[in-house]
Amino acid sequence: MSATDGNGLKDRIIRVGTRKSQLARIQTDSVVEMLCKQYPGLHFEIVAMSTTGDKILDTALSKIGEKSLFTKELENALERNEVDLVVHSLKDLPTSLPPGFTIGAICKRENPHDAVVFHPKSCGKTLNALPDKSVIGTSSLRRAAQLKRSFPQLEFRDIRGNLNTRLKKLDEKEDFSAIILAAAGLRRMGWENRIGQILNPEDCLYAVGQGALAIEVRAKDQEILDMVSALHDGETVLCCIAERAFMKHLEGGCSVPVAVSTLLKDSQLYLTGAVYSLDGSDSLRETMQTSVNYPQQNEDGPNDDVQHVGITAKNIPHRAQEAAEKLDLVASSFYKDHRWDCTFHW
């Protein structure tokens, strides 16, 4: 099957795995809609399921100790051939996937930055304008570590639950003056009007892969892999390869809260990466760049399905992907002399 016709799949129903949350369903619906436009003759069925991360709501994610909190059950279904592909938020996927799986597509990225949603009594304010000791809710140690540095007059506390639950906790109680959420999720839910402030990279770098949707497939299911590859967005893929390679390098040694920001401009890929102590008092931050100006070549052969940090993207120049992935070598030289006694969080 070519990546443009889908004829080999017309006689079957393609099952798409997803989490049960409202946001996950919206994201999956958007992916299925794109696939239907690309392949109008194909038929899709959405299979929703709960993951471990959806079920454990009374414990901070950083204390659970499981990297595949939001993916394991979905990957089990993929392995058992109960679904043909799975839609994830890319930031939920570890940099090393289980054997036999690959990320077959990364869709065009939504706004990757973090956003502040204020309590109704604080609407119209910014974080700097809140009274000292105001409490800010976040489920992310990455966000808390950075924001403690930028806004030392504020206090930060954990808040769990899906988007709906966290917004309800904010609006109906007096526990929080504001909460920090991913702008992408708010926009996809149609709640952009709740965004009171977008955090710029100087205040808060974002999580690896934040704002991007990934489609995970069985690596040897060539028909499905070819089909979903049509949804790859080249710029997003290169940025996310660089981000995931940066995080993978840090996972290999001492691990700390990790944050990034990437930009592709004039064929130059820029990655700003940072690591923080848990309380935000110590940090290392550096910006790296590389050229990704390589033409697409006919690369059929033994390496035509090569993965870069779990991503298979044959329709994007291989040498450009290699350059993006090798940015972590620059990170290695920058961080090699630092050893922090911390736990990895994103």
Residue 195 has pLDDT above 60, yes or no: yes
- pLDDT tens per residue across span 17-33: 999 999 999 999 999 99
* Predicted confidence (pLDDT) per residue in 246-273, tens digit: 999 887 444 568 999 999 999 999 999 9
Among residues 197, 258, 233, the alpha carbon closest in space to that of 311 is found at 233
Residue 333 pLDDT = 58
pLDDT(207) > 70: yes
Specify the pLDDT at position 158: 93
Q: How far apart are CA 134 and CA 167, in angstroms?
A: 17
Give the residue from 141, 171, 198 where a domain finishes.
198
Asked, for residue 7, whether it belongs to a domain, the answer is no
Among 50-64, 104-118, 151-165, 317-331, name the one with the lowest average pLDDT.
50-64
58 catalytic? Reply is no
Co-location of 147 and 291 in the same domain: no
- Which structural domain range is residue 147 located in? 114-198
- Residue 161: per-residue pLDDT: 85
Min mean pLDDT across 93-97, 257-261, 277-281, 304-308 is at 304-308
pLDDT digits (tens, 9 = 90+) for 36-45: 999 999 999 9
Looking at the fold, whether 33 and 103 belong to one and the same domain comes out as yes
Q: Is residue 66 part of a domain?
A: yes
pLDDT-based confidence at 337, cuts 50/70/90?
low
Q: Which helix (H) or strand (E) holds 114?
A: strand 114-118
Flag the least confident range among 18-27, 71-80, 116-125, 254-263. 254-263
Q: Of the candidates 21, 14, 206, which has an alpha carbon nearest to the alpha carbon of residue 104?
A: 14
Q: Do residues 222 and 86 share a domain?
A: yes
Sequence-distant (6+) residues with CB within 8 A of 332 are 249
Residue 297 lies in a domain: yes
pLDDT for res 325: 96
153 lies in some domain: yes
Q: Are residues 224 and 310 in the same domain?
A: yes
128 assigned to some structural domain: yes
CA dist., res. 270 & res. 277, Å (int): 24
What is the rounded radius of gyration, in angstroms, for the C-alpha atoms of the chain? 20
Check pLDDT > 50 for residue 343. no
Catalytic residue among 5, 29, 92, 279: 92
Kindly indicate the confidence band of residue 66, based on its pLDDT and cuts at 50, 70 and 90.
Answer: very low
Residues 72 and 118 in one domain: no
Residue 22 placed within a domain:
yes
Of the pLDDT bands very low, low, confident and very high (cuts 50, 70, 90), residue 13 is very high
**β-strand partners of 244:** none
Residue 300 DSSP symbol: -
Q: Please check the confidence at residue 71 and state whether its pLDDT lies above 50.
A: yes
Question: Is residue 243 domain-resident?
Answer: yes
Q: Are residues 181 and 309 in the same domain?
A: no
Q: What's the mean pLDDT in 219-237?
A: 97
For residue 212, give the amino acid letter. Answer: A
Tens of pLDDT, residue by residue over 128-160, are 999 999 999 998 999 999 999 999 999 999 998
Closest alpha carbon to 150 in 343, 281, 278, 340: 281
Contacts of 335 (CB under 8 A, 6+ apart): 249, 250, 275, 284
Please report the pLDDT score of residue 144 as a whole number: 94
Does the pLDDT at position 1 exceed 90? no
Average pLDDT, the chain: 88
Q: Residue 335 has what pLDDT?
A: 58
Q: Residue 68's pLDDT is what?
A: 56
CA within 13 Å, CB half, 322: 8
Strand order in the sheet with 283-291: 258-265, 268-276, 283-291
Structural domain count, the chain: 2
Which residues are CB-neighbours of 205 under 8 A, at least 6 positions away? 146, 259, 260, 261, 272, 273, 274
Task: Give me 210's structure tokens.
Answer: 């934040």
CATH number of the domain enclosing 143: 3.40.190.10
Say whether both 101 and 221 belong to one domain: yes
Nearest CA to 214 out of 342, 312, 318, 76 is that of 312
How far apart, in whole angstroms, are the C-alpha atoms of residue 270 and residue 16? 34
When pLDDT is cut at 50, 70 and 90, the band that residue 2 belongs to is very low
Residues 6+ away with beta carbon under 8 Å from 28:
16, 18, 46, 87
Mean pLDDT of 198-221: 97
- Please check whether residues 314 and 249 belong to one and the same domain: yes
**Is pLDDT larger for residue 11 or for residue 201?**
201
Confidence tier at 115 by pLDDT (50, 70, 90): very high
- The first and second tokens of residue 218, run together, are 């069985």
Rounded CA separation 52/23 (Å): 16
Residues 230 and 332 in one domain: yes
pLDDT-derived band at 299 (thresholds 50, 70, 90) equals low
Residue 1 lies in a domain: no
